[in-house]
Structure 1
Amino acid sequence: MADVLVVGAGPVGLTLACELARHGARCRIIDRAPRPLPYCRAIGVTPRTLEVWDDMGIAREMIDAGLWLTGLRSIVQGRPPTDAPNPALDLPFAALGLPQYETERVLARHLDRHGVRIERGSALTALRQDPDGVAVRIEGEDGTAQEDRFRYVVGCDGAHSAVRRLLGIAFDGAAYPWPFMLGDVRIGWDVPYGMSVRALRLVEGGPPDMFVAIPLPEPGRYRVSMLAPAALVPSAGTEHGIQAELRGPSLADLQAVADDLLPDRPRLADLRWSSVYRISMRLASAYGQGRCFIAGDAAHIHPPTGGQGMNTGIQDAYNLAWKLALVLRGAGAASL
């Protein structure tokens, strides 16, 4: 019997599984999705997360796959742009730009070195815990189901966490009323490599019109985000995150916002993917119940500014793993 079932193979679940394996705990990791998602989603990596990855032995691989974020160009109310370089901090690392699919690729490769395989297309559908462990039901894409038992279960399965729902943990908070849209595009302009761009126009009584471009490692490519026009987003849909069931914006939709807010009207091209997404701010009433825990977006969701979502989630997992490992080998009390 494995010691821990990790539910979710995003950055948080992969970090937890890697660290459990490094500390000698036996784990399984499952994910509902049949394959990794192609979306950039989280990009910004904080110095603290790089310190975590350095301890895990993968900081160099992550740095090689990303780019250093060097500063911010701001355009407010159509006025000439101002550039603000990131200040030099007395830290071992700086802010790194790394698309989430690259973060997951490096973490999955690291997990494979520990001999742990991600079980994709597998969903947790039931759990029942007692003083000695947790009995679970896992269903595959083909409808087959298996029963198994673990000493602990950790839900790293995102804002719509099955683990949190099965435990009945409240997830209070509020949703932004405005939908947003994302795109991965090439932009023809003279912005220095590594610099982000933010254009804002204040709107009385509502959110500002905005165009935000975060650089990707490939020169000239950016993940852009902005408010989505109402015509593109019906009132129904998922409350938080990428609205995979909806058609993403077209290149023309993204270009229209750029033309409206960027004085030089740079050309957007080569749209690789796009999506509509919604933002919520929520916090779970508890991070654990008995032998079950939640981490990352399953426990707390944030607006994307500052990259708090993925970074705090990775730090959740890094913190929980060594504690679980000590308890599992009898070197720490369960209260840890």
Structure 2
Amino acid sequence: MTKDRDVEVLVVGAGPTGLALAAMLGRTGIAVRVIDKAAERSRKSKALGVHAGTLEALSDVFGLGLPARMVSTGQPVRTVHFHLGRRRPIAVDLGGLPSPYNFVLVLPQGETERLLAEQAAAFDVAVDWKHELTGLRQDRDGVQCEVRRPDGAVELVRAAYVVGCDGAHSVVRRQVGAQFAGGAYPGTFLLADVTLDWGPGQAHWGHDSVRFFSTEAGAMAFFPLKDPAHAAVGPTLCRLVVIPKEEPPVPGAEIDLATFATLARAVSGLPLALGEATWLTRFTIHHRMVKRLRHGRVFLAGDAAHIHSPAGGQGMNTGIQDALNLGARLTEALRRAAPDKVDAVLDRYAGDRLPVARGVLRGTDLISRVGLLADGWWGRLLRRHILPLVIGSPFLRRRIALTLSQLPVSRQERPVRLRALD
């Protein structure tokens, strides 16, 4: 074993949560190191939506430049259309959100990570790729970490605090013995990043809205991806997620484009024409959460602490806002708080963010069970009567849009972020 430099905070995981935390700690002058066992940053699109509350939170910490770069890279969407059975679609307008970011930004996760990594690099914080945490041991003054390097050697890293931002299969979470209670949703979720032509009857739809379909055959979501190669109408690059009521022909096998296209047409009831797919996969959705975000000097954030349905695009946004809150608390603990106040300062992270995570879990679970997975007579009742009433109410539409934007939570925590920058 070799002894490496001491750091104030070791961040494990270089996804959106870990990079946002690293960038904030760099911004506030904390000595931070980021490690990730992957060979390099993922290029897959994964999570897509960045909400107004997250963009406002990032602008609080890093100024207007980072959100502006994100918006110019992605596709701002101000309208969400709901297709319930064979009814006319119901439009939900996001343009009324009380924010300069009155839209949902469709931005592939790989691009979000690239921009956050560039922001961290501006504060001389880089990611040590191919570095894997293999063990940690806490004492009263810090955390002794074992990190396997690319050459196989194990180095000892001494940190005042460790943060697990290493996703659903978190090593940090396992090291502290935290339970990840929950389960999996039934059914198969199919995903494709693909070129799509709606067909002649829908050519006027364009590419500037998100669309959700809920029919007897299943559910489908459409997200437009920014693609300068395509015109405002006609074929577009998009993310399609299909949840068919009928299992694909070979359960558990990899999906092929022809089968995906057949299922997408069956669910939507439209003569969709699908072109080349840059990503095609199937997956299972879990809903799980830890009971504690703090274990002494070790913290959990983002998917390492809570995972849920992608309905509403809440996961990555919740993780980034976890990171900015924790970054503020760690800055206060390391730079300002009296020794006898440090524990109280750090406990406020869980006090702030655990209720948020519980609320997101409940909300996405409700959306999934009602809007995506409901079947039989209950599903028909929802599609034909209940959901049209709910989404058709202007008051409820505004309430739903505001909640999904995460603006209320972001603004409630704004003083915490700003205080760390004083």
Query: Is TM (by shorter chain) over 0.5?
Result: yes
- Pick aligned residue for 2:258 from 252, 257, 260: 252
Match of 1:240 in 2: none
Distance 1:233 1:328 in 2: 51
Match of 2:129 in 1: 120
Q: 1:110 to 1:232 in 2, by over 3 A?
A: farther
Superposed displacement of residue 76, structure 1: 2.7
Contact 2:162 2:298 in 1 (8 A): yes
Contact 1:67 1:98 in 2 (8 A): yes
Match of 2:272 in 1: 266
Is 1:280 aligned with 2:286?
yes
Q: Which 10-residue stretch deviates more, 19-28 or 320-329?
A: 320-329
Secondary structure of the equivalent of 1:306?
A: coil
Show CA shifts across 1:113-159 (max 9, x none): 11111111111110000000000111134432211110000000111
Superposed displacement of residue 293, structure 1: 0.2
Match of 2:120 in 1: 111
What's the Cα RMSD here?
A: 1.8
Q: Which 10-residue stretch deviates more, 1-10 or 175-184?
A: 175-184
Within-5 A mapping of 1:193-272: 193-202=207-216, 209-218=218-227, 219=230, 220-227=236-243, 229-234=247-252, 247=254, 249-272=255-278
Within-5 A mapping of 1:119-138: 119-138=128-147
Is 1:40 aligned with 2:45?
yes
Match of 2:8 in 1: 3
Percent identity over the alignment is 38
Secondary structure of the equivalent of 1:38?
A: coil
- Pick aligned residue for 2:18 from 13, 19, 26: 13
Secondary structure of the equivalent of 1:90?
A: coil
Superposed displacement of residue 214, structure 1: 1.0
Q: 1:308 to 1:290 in 2, by over 3 A?
A: same
Structure 2: stretches of 5+ with no match in the other structure: 1-5, 231-235, 346-422
Superposed displacement of residue 92, structure 1: 2.7
Show CA shifts across 1:157-201 (max 9, x none): 111111011000111112112221111011113222221122221
TM-score (norm 1): 0.90
Distance 2:328 2:261 in 1: 47
Structure with greater helix share of residues: 2
Superposed displacement of residue 334, structure 1: 1.6
Superposed displacement of residue 295, structure 1: 0.2
Match of 1:93 in 2: 101
Distance 2:214 2:239 in 1: 17
TM-score (norm 2): 0.72
Contact 2:248 2:259 in 1 (8 A): no
| Count of residue correspondences | 319
Tell me the amino acid that sits aligned with residue 134 of structure 1: V
Tell me the amino acid that sits aligned with residue 327 of structure 2: A
Superposed displacement of residue 232, structure 1: 4.5
Structure with greater strand share of residues: 1
Secondary structure of the equivalent of 1:181?
A: strand
Is 1:183 aligned with 2:192?
yes
Secondary structure of the equivalent of 1:168?
A: coil
Distance 1:180 1:312 in 2: 22
Structure 1: stretches of 5+ with no match in the other structure: 203-207, 235-245
Superposed displacement of residue 73, structure 1: 2.8
Contact 1:258 1:265 in 2 (8 A): no
Tell me the amino acid that sits aligned with residue 307 of structure 1: G
Contact 2:215 2:268 in 1 (8 A): no
Within-5 A mapping of 1:163-182: 163-182=172-191
